[in-house]
Each structure stands twice: as C-alpha cells, then as structure tokens.
Amino acid sequence: MTGTKTGQTRRDRNALAVSAVTAIIFAGVLAAGSMTERTTLVLVVAFGFLAMVAGVTISLFVDFSTPERQVWAYGLASGAMLASAAALLAPKAIGRHPQYGGFAIALGYLLGYAGHELGHLLSHYDLPLNAAVSELTLHALAAGSIMGVVYGSLPDLSALFGFGILAHKFPAGFTGSEALKQSGIPRIVMIVPASAVAIAAIPLSILTPDLSAVVQAVFYGVSTGVFAHVAIDMLPECSHVGSHADSSGHGTIQCSRNIHRVRQYAVASTLSGAGAIFLLWQALAMG
C-alpha cells in the first residue's frame, strides 16, 4: 500500500511539474505570436485553449453524463469541424494540385487513423498523462503543426476555419477530464493538450518558409484528411454497453435507454454544427 501511495505521489508531482512547464511555454508562444503580428493565429489557438478549459470546467461543476448533452456537444463540434475541413481547406489542396492534393487528403486521413490506433501504445507506460490525455495531446500537436504550416504559408486564412477546426476541443475537454479523474491523476494536467495546439502552431508559422504550389497542396491535403478523420471519429454514436468516450475522448456514447431519440439528436446536432459554419461563412462572404 505504501509503495502504491509513493508511486501515486510521484506521478502527481510529475503531472504538476509538466503542467507548470507547459503553462510557461504556452504563455511564451502566445507572446511570440503577438510580437510577430500573427493575430489571427493567436486568437484561434487561444480559442482552442479556452474551449478545452470550458470542457474541463463543465466536468467539474455540471452533470454532463447524460447522453443527450454529450451527443449535442460531440455532434455540433464534429459537424463544424468536418464542414470547415471540407469547405475551407480541401479546395485549397485541390486548387493547388488536384492529384497531389487528392492523394494528400487520403494520406492525412490514414495518418489520423494511425495516430489514433498507435496512441493506445502509450497506455503501456507509467506516464503523468493517461492514455486518453496522451492521445488528445498527440492529436493537438499534429493539428497545431499543420495549422502552423498552413497559416505560415497563407496568413490571411480566415479565423472561421480555425474556430471550426478547434470546436472539438470543448467535448475533448470534459471527456479528457473525466478520464483523468478515473485514473486518479490531477485534472490540472489537461493544460497539456489544451496548450499543445499553440505550442506547435505558432513556432511553425514563424519558421515556415514560402512553399511551392505542390508542397502547399500536400500540406493542405494532409491537414484536410487529418481533421476530417478527427471529425468523423467524433461523430456521436449510440452504444448499448459501455462508453468508449469515457476512455478515449471520442464520440461513442452509452445511450441504451433512449437510443432512438438520442440517435435523432445525433443527426440533428451534426447537421447543426455543419450548418452553423455554412451560415457564418455566408455572412462573412456577403459582408
């Protein structure tokens, strides 16, 4: 028992240390982004951070265990993310080079799948992050890397794209927080995946040189595929047993009691999320 407590204490200390270092790095990259006049990117990554923090806060003070609430959170986020990737990013990949862009979209989707599956390997190590939060962090670093390159080569890309892409941070926040609670790890460690997008995106946006049309097509295509995979992976699905979302941060939800009604909510929420992005884009285009 003493050995278990000692191991728990050491892991908690490591988690707090990692969280403190991450917070310092996060503040530093935001300052660097502001000083280099990357205002749009700073706003987007700050939005992603606050969205995940809001999700963590929900898990602390609000009962978000009902299938109906979970479905609407996942559905709105996944619909918005999929619409953003398909309408605001995929055309840039295809427009720069149809074949390279198309193959890159496929590659990005498969890379997203590979990251999801191989992320489970982290569960075999005694880390201050559990498997679910480690996977969220890897996804965030990948997304941030892609966003940094994209914004670096096309600085006038609309903030709407970034907001749509990072909308999934809210449901990821509360599911990651619940997973940490079940693992006995301090929830403050959620600052790691919340900050990871900014930590990857801003430095890469500063360092990325001008890219050729073919290279841009590849980057836009890969990012489209990765984001599409995450969006599709988060589409709310009803399960009769267990809750996949409790352990992985994705959208399979236990809703056996009201499964037919919740499935209707799932369809309505995803269409609403995609529709919201369309309406916002339409309003900006007309303005």
Q: Break the chain into its structural domains and give their ranges.
A: 2-286
- CA dist 63 and 58 (Å) reads 8
| Across 16-33, average pLDDT | 94
Residue 45 near residue 30 (C-beta atoms within 8 A): yes
Give 7-47 as a DSSP string: HHHHHHHHHHHHHHHHHHHHHHHHHHHHHTT-HHHHHHHHH
- Rounded to the nearest 5 degrees, what angle is found at the Cα of 57, between the Cα atoms of 261 and 29? 120
pLDDT value for 242: 42
Which helix H or strand E contains 253, and what residues bound it? Answer: strand 252-254
| pLDDT of 241 strictly over 60 | no
74-113 residue pLDDT tens: 888 889 889 988 988 899 899 999 999 999 999 999 988 8
What would the pLDDT profile of 142-199 be if each residue is shown by its tens digit? Answer: 778 878 887 776 666 677 777 777 777 888 888 788 778 777 888 889 999 999 999 9
| pLDDT given at position 102 | 96
Assess contact for 155 and 275: CB atoms under 8 A. Answer: no
Tokens of 189: 């460690």
Mean pLDDT, range 247-273, rounded to an integer = 76
Distance separating alpha carbons of residues 256 and 122, to the nearest angstrom: 31
Neighbours of 215 (CB within 10 A): 16
